[in-house]
């Protein structure tokens, strides 16, 4: 356990306790007890339509699982929350079922409404219009959305709406230590088209 963590009821939490905070270049006393901050609950967007996307999804979930500022248990990962628990990868025929389509869509939208933020596992080499739609919904709801892209895809241009429409875009390796509580808009510094 690091010095920035505390244990409460056998679980480790990030210690966000500060006695002073610097704002606008001046130091102020902070009397609020910020000693325990729960991990964020995120809508985790990703694609799983090819072996490369599945590999990146698994790497992303593993990375997020090591980050104490994100709760995988209380986040919503669409593939893990399919209507009637049907795994679309095991049963692709369900994609033709109107009931499954409508209820899967509704479940995902309700999950977006209830989560603190979005985290997208996005591959610029394989852009997914479904993820772009979910990013737009998060933006319309004024919820932060952080895209995680593969380290080796940083130089692949993104569509302008994806590149400029998300709160922040970071590489997967940066996600391991990223504080998902402290999400500030940062313009994307990569190429867009």
Q: Are 48 and 57 in contact (CB under 8 A)?
A: yes
From the list 20, 52, 53, 134, the catalytic residue is 134
Six token digits for residue 123: 């591959």
CA distance 46 to 61: 10
Q: Are 91 and 119 in contact (CB under 8 A)?
A: no
Helices (H), 42-154: 51-65, 98-114, 129-140
Please report the beta strands in the chain, taking only residues with DSSP state E, as ranges in sequence order.
5-8, 11-14, 20-23, 26-29, 42-46, 117-121, 145-149, 168-171
Specify whether 134 is catalytic: yes
108: three-class secondary structure by DSSP: helix
Known catalytic residues are 134
């Amino acid at each position: 356990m690091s010095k920035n963590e505390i244990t409460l009821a056998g679980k480790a939490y990030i210690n966000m306790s500060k006695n002073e905070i610097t704002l606008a270049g001046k130091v102020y006393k902070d009397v609020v007890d910020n000693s325990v901050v729960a991990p964020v609950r995120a809508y985790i967007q990703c694609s799983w339509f090819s072996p490369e996307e599945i590999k990146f999804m698994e790497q992303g979930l593993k990375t997020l699982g090591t980050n104490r500022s994100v709760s995988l248990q209380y986040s919503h990962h669409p593939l893990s929350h399919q209507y009637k628990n049907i795994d679309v990868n095991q049963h692709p025929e369900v994609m033709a079922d109107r009931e499954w389509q409508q209820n899967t869509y509704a479940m995902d939208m309700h999950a977006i409404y209830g989560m603190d933020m979005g985290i997208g596992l996005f591959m610029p080499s394989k852009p997914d219009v479904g993820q772009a739609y979910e990013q737009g919904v998060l933006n319309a709801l004024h919820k932060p959305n952080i895209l995680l892209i593969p380290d080796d895809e940083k130089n692949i241009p993104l569509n302008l709406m994806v590149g400029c429409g998300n709160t922040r875009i970071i590489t997967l390796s940066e996600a391991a230590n990223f504080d998902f509580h402290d999400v500030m808009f940062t313009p994307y510094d990569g190429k867009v088209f």
